[in-house]
């Protein structure tokens, strides 16, 4: 046991059924079946195990607030919502493993993320969370009190590789919603932007990836903030003056031609109305079309172009070496060589180190060294 670790018996599914290993400074906890753990899993359970959530109640952070602050749970025990009526959970990420109906309206959850797999239906009375994130098969989700929800809603529905724009009927019920985010991958079946027109009070909209029918957004006359990320086609985007209340427009990692056109529009707008009345515009990390094919999905999007190019090249070399590897030692050596390339790049700091660790995890996923990735990364990356 390391000095910064504490170990304590925990009666999670039965008397002293688990040992909780807490690391100093770590505010998250993952409870899941072993086969559902992509990376770190703190407490392994079966999907249908009844969970004694009260056994976690005594734990706090040094300042005295409840621990864990961020809870990730994969399983069918809905008692976590009753437990959250007695204490605050800053963030709960839940993947139910069987269909259910629950009343979570009294739960003290600030950020709630729910992922629905195919065939898993959920009817829920939502808590007054400030942020709700839904992903997976959204056709299986029903919010009983959707019309009353006025926080931020983020949707990441399953999409096919290709297909017609996907309408999101779920949005028809969130009549009080003011803040919406739609997540998608850039080169997949697009989501239909017209789905947002059912939200009469919408003032903030964030879009990621492939989104079709952008021209329909001109009808959202109450829009005050529009953010566009990882979008390779903005050809139908309305002119910013289409939104009379718009004060903020962000375009990040988007099509280079459209991004430059937005910059040119902003210069003209600034000259015409002056700085005080001008819309705030940020159009950065503009991309050529081939970037979305060759580099998107790697964790280097926020790096300087030169460092990102070098890191991407090294990543692809490591990826090819790992695909050919027949022994764990060969996989580890490919990761070490990748890390040595990153060590030589200039100006890498804490944020870039986090990105680099994500790249290591992506390379090691489903290999023999996956469980050792933290040690391998720590031994080679010194920036």
- Torsion angles phi and psi, residue 260, rounded to 5: -70, -35
Per-residue confidence (pLDDT) for residue 136, from 0 to 100? 97
| pLDDT score at 346 | 94
Instruction: For CA atoms 364, 370, 372, 373, give the dihedral sign.
Output: positive
Q: Give the model confidence (pLDDT) of 11-27 as tens digits.
A: 999 999 999 998 888 89
> Which residue spans within 96-252 are E strands per DSSP?
100-103, 109-116, 122-125, 131-136, 141-143, 152-157, 179-182, 191-192, 204-208, 211-212, 225-229, 248-252
Identify which of 47, 46, 40, 45 has the alpha carbon closest to the alpha carbon of residue 23. Answer: 40
Mean pLDDT by 10 residues, the chain (383 residues): 74 96 88 79 95 96 92 97 96 97 96 96 91 97 94 96 94 95 95 96 97 98 97 95 96 96 93 84 93 87 91 95 93 96 93 92 88 90 90
What is the pLDDT at residue 6?
87
pLDDT score recorded for residue 2: 45
The pLDDT assigned to 40 comes to 73
Residue reference for tokens 């399953």: 158
Distance in angstroms (rounded) separating the CA atoms of residues 199 and 354: 37
pTM score of the predicted model: 0.84
Cα 76 to Cα 275: distance, rounded to the nearest angstrom:
54
Q: What is the pLDDT of residue 300?
A: 93
Please give the pLDDT value at position 5: 76
Condensed to tens digits (0 to 9), the pLDDT of residues 231-247 reads: 999 999 999 999 999 99
Q: Treating both helix axes as pointing N-terminal to C-terminal, what angle do 350-364 and 305-324 enclose, rounded to 10 degrees?
A: 20
- pLDDT score of 39: 62
Question: Which pLDDT score, from 0 to 100, does residue 233 have?
Answer: 95
**What's the confidence (pLDDT) of residue 68?**
95
Note whether 332 and 363 are within 8 A (CB): no
């Amino acid at each position: 046991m390391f000095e910064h670790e504490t170990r304590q018996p925990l009666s999670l599914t039965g008397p002293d059924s688990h040992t909780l290993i807490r690391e100093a400074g770590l505010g998250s906890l993952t409870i899941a079946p072993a086969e559902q753990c992509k990376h770190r899993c703190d407490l392994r359970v079966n999907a249908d195990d009844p969970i004694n959530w009260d056994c976690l109640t005594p734990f706090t952070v040094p300042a005295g607030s409840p621990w864990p602050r961020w809870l990730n749970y994969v399983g069918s025990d809905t008692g976590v919502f009753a437990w959250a009526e007695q204490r605050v959970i800053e963030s709960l990420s839940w993947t139910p493993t069987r269909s259910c109906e629950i009343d979570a309206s009294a739960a003290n959850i600030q950020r709630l993320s729910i992922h629905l797999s195919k065939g898993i239906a959920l009817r829920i009375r939502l808590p007054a969370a400030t942020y709700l994130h839904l992903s997976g098969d959204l056709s299986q989700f029903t919010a009983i009190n959707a019309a009353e929800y006025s926080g931020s809603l983020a949707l990441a529905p399953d999409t096919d590789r290709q297909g017609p724009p996907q309408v999101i009927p779920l949005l028809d019920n969130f009549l009080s919603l003011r803040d919406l985010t739609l997540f998608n991958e850039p080169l997949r079946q697009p989501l239909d932007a017209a789905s947002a027109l059912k939200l009469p009070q919408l003032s903030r909209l964030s879009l990621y990836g492939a989104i079709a029918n952008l021209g329909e957004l001109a009808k959202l006359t109450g829009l005050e903030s529009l953010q566009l990320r990882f979008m390779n086609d903005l050809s139908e985007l309305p002119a910013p003056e289409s939104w009379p209340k718009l004060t903020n427009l962000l375009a990040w990692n988007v099509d280079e031609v459209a991004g430059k056109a937005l910059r040119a529009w902003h210069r003209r707008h600034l000259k015409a109305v002056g700085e005080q009345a001008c819309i705030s515009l940020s159009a950065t990390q503009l991309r050529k079309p081939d970037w979305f094919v060759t580099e998107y999905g790697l964790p280097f999007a926020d790096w300087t172009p030169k460092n990102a190019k070098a890191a991407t090249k090294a990543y692809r070399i490591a990826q090819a070496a790992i695909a050919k590897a027949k022994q764990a030692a060969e996989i580890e050596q490919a990761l070490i060589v990748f890390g040595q390339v990153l060590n030589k790049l200039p100006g890498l700091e804490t944020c870039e180190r986090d990105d680099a660790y994500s790249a290591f995890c992506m390379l090691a996923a489903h290999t023999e060294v996956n469980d050792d990735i933290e040690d391998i990364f720590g031994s080679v990356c010194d920036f």
